[in-house]
Amino acid sequence: MLRGAFVVVFGVTGFLLGREAYFSLFAPHFASPALQLALLILAPAIGAIVGALLAPLAQSIFESELEAVEGAMERLSPAEIVGGAAGLIVGLLIAFLIKTVAFEVISSLGPGGTYVAVVLYLLAAIFAAYLGARVGARLRVVPLPGRAAPSGTLKVVDTSAIVDGRIVEIVESGFLEGPMVVPRFVLRELQAIADSVDPLKRTRGRRGFDVLAKLQERGAFEVSERDYDDMPSGEVDARLVRLAQELGAKLVTNDFNLNRVAHVEGVGVLNVNELANAVKPVVLPGEELHVHLTREGKELHQGVAYLDDGTMIVVEHGRRLIGAEIDVIVTSVLQTAAGRMIFARIKRDGSAA
Same domain, 215 and 315: no
Q: Flag whether 189 is in a domain.
A: yes
Instruction: For residue 98, tell me if it sits in a domain.
Output: yes
Q: Is residue 50 part of a domain?
A: yes
- Looking at the chain, the whole-number percentage of residues with pLDDT higher than 90 is 5
Do 273 and 294 lie in one domain? The reply is: no
With respect to residue 264, please indicate whether it lies within any of the assigned structural domains: yes
Indicate whether 1 belongs to any domain: yes
Highest mean pLDDT among 35-44, 172-181, 237-246: 237-246
Contacts of 205 (CB under 8 A, 6+ apart): 163, 190, 191, 192, 193, 194, 195, 196
Instruction: State how many domains the chain has.
Output: 4
Q: Single out the residue in 149, 183, 206 at which a domain terminates.
A: 149
CATH number at residue 234: 3.40.50.1010
Instruction: Among 70, 93, 115, give the residue marking a domain's end.
Output: 70
Assess if residue 351 is contained within a domain: no
3-state SS of the chain: helix, strand, coil percent to 5?
60, 15, 25
Dist CA 218 CA 271 (whole Å): 21
Do residues 56 and 3 touch, judged by C-beta distance below 8 A?
yes
Sheet with 180-183: list strands edge to edge: 221-224, 180-183, 155-157, 250-253, 269-271
Whether 138 and 195 share a structural domain = no
pLDDT tens, position by position, 233-273: 678 888 888 888 888 888 998 888 888 888 888 888 888 87
Same domain, 227 and 115: no
Q: Is the same domain home to 193 and 263? A: yes
Query: Are residues 168 and 63 part of one domain?
Result: no
pTM of the full predicted structure?
0.49
Same domain for 186 and 109, yes or no, is no
Quick count: other Cβ atoms within 10 Å of Cβ 36?
A: 15
Q: Is 353 domain-assigned?
A: no
By DSSP bridging, strand 339-346 and strand 303-306 are unpaired
Q: Is the pLDDT assigned to residue 30 strictly greater than 60?
A: no
Q: Do 126 and 234 have their domain in common? A: no
Say yes or no: 189 and 226 in one domain. yes
Domain containing residue 104: 75-149
Report the CATH number at residue 325: 2.40.50
Q: In the chain, what is the greatest distance between 2 CA atoms, to the nearest angstrom?
A: 128
3-state secondary structure of 293: strand
Domain match, 1 and 66 both:
yes
Mean pLDDT of 193-212: 88
Task: Please determine, for residue 197, whether its predicted confidence score (pLDDT) is greater than 70.
Answer: yes
Quote the pLDDT of residue 198.
Answer: 86
Residues 137 and 182 in one domain: no
* Within-domain flag for 352: no
93 and 66, same domain (yes or no): no
Task: Tell me the β-bridge partners of 198.
Answer: none
Domain-terminating residue out of 124, 149, 174: 149
Confidence of residue 147 (pLDDT cuts 50, 70, 90): very low
Per-residue model confidence (pLDDT) at position 304: 92
